[in-house]
Amino acid sequence: MEIKFGAKKTPLASPDKPITAKAIKLIWIAMIVSILVYFAVGYIYMTQLPHRAPVLAQDVLAKLRLALYLVSLGLLFISIKFSRKANSLFAPKTTQESLEGIHFAEAPSDQPPLPADRNSKTASAYTFLIISWAFVEAIAVFGLVLVFVGGKLPDLYGFCLAAIFLMIINRPKIPDQGPSPYSSITPS
């Protein structure tokens, strides 16, 4: 008697595009939820806990607030640049442009070849998107830090709302590239 484990083989080198797109959207949603958690923590800290004296003097707090606004403005432009870079990697190309410069990876004879470019460009685009979102999330963290060192609730509102707005602007815009070349293969 022979027991076979793992009769269904899935190629690990090239997962289907829908699974990857779902994963990147899940990361985006998780980062939005984390911004909402930062807001909730700051709000509870300011409204529910006994009021504490500010950690920093008001003049130092004003300078810190200005510095965080300027850093946030820089992060805004950087995140937009990274998001545009990611979207340019997802940009559809004409058939001729998409075939030029593609080197096909070796595949077993019973499977269609997978373009080697596809996975590296998609991975680069996803990396740029996640870095962009991390910069945006840092803006919400700045608001939370400002509340902890003696800021007011409007500081938290401003930073968190700006971060949510930027996350919505930088949402994943992943075009449908069709099924993976391996999706039509039936396991034997």
Query: Cα–Cα distance between 87 and 89 in angstroms, integer?
Result: 5
Query: Please, what's the b/e burial string for 34-52 (b: 16 or more CB within 10 A of its CB; e: otherwise)?
Result: bbeebbeebbeebeeeeee
Domain boundaries, the chain: 17-50+57-92+115-169
User: What does the pLDDT read at residue 86?
Assistant: 76
Can you tell me whether residue 104 is helix, strand or coil? strand
Mean pLDDT of the region 130-150: 90
**52-106: per-residue pLDDT in tens?**
777 778 888 888 888 988 898 888 888 888 777 777 776 655 555 555 555 555 5
User: What does the pLDDT read at residue 164?
Assistant: 95
Q: What's the token pair of residue 59?
A: 């003049």
Instruction: Identify any residues that bridge with 188 across adjacent strands, giving them in sequence order.
Output: none
Vertex 27: Cα angle to 144 and 137 (nearest 5)? 25
49 vs 14, higher pLDDT: 49
In terms of residues, how long is the chain?
A: 188
Query: Cα–Cα distance between 120 and 65 in angstroms, integer?
Result: 40
SS (H, E, C) the chain: CCCCCCCCCCCCCCCCHHHHHHHHHHHHHHHHHHHHHHHHHHHHHHHCCCCCCCCCCHHHHHHHHHHHHHHHHHHHHHHHHHHHHHHHHHCCCCHHHHHCCCCECCCCCCCCCCEHHHHHHHHHHHHHHHHHHHHHHHHHHHHHHHHHCCCCHHHHHHHHHHHHHHHHHCCCCCCCCCCCCCCCCCCC
Q: Look at residues 112, 169, 133 and name the one whose alpha carbon lies nearest to residue 24.
A: 133
pLDDT higher than threshold 90 for residue 161: yes
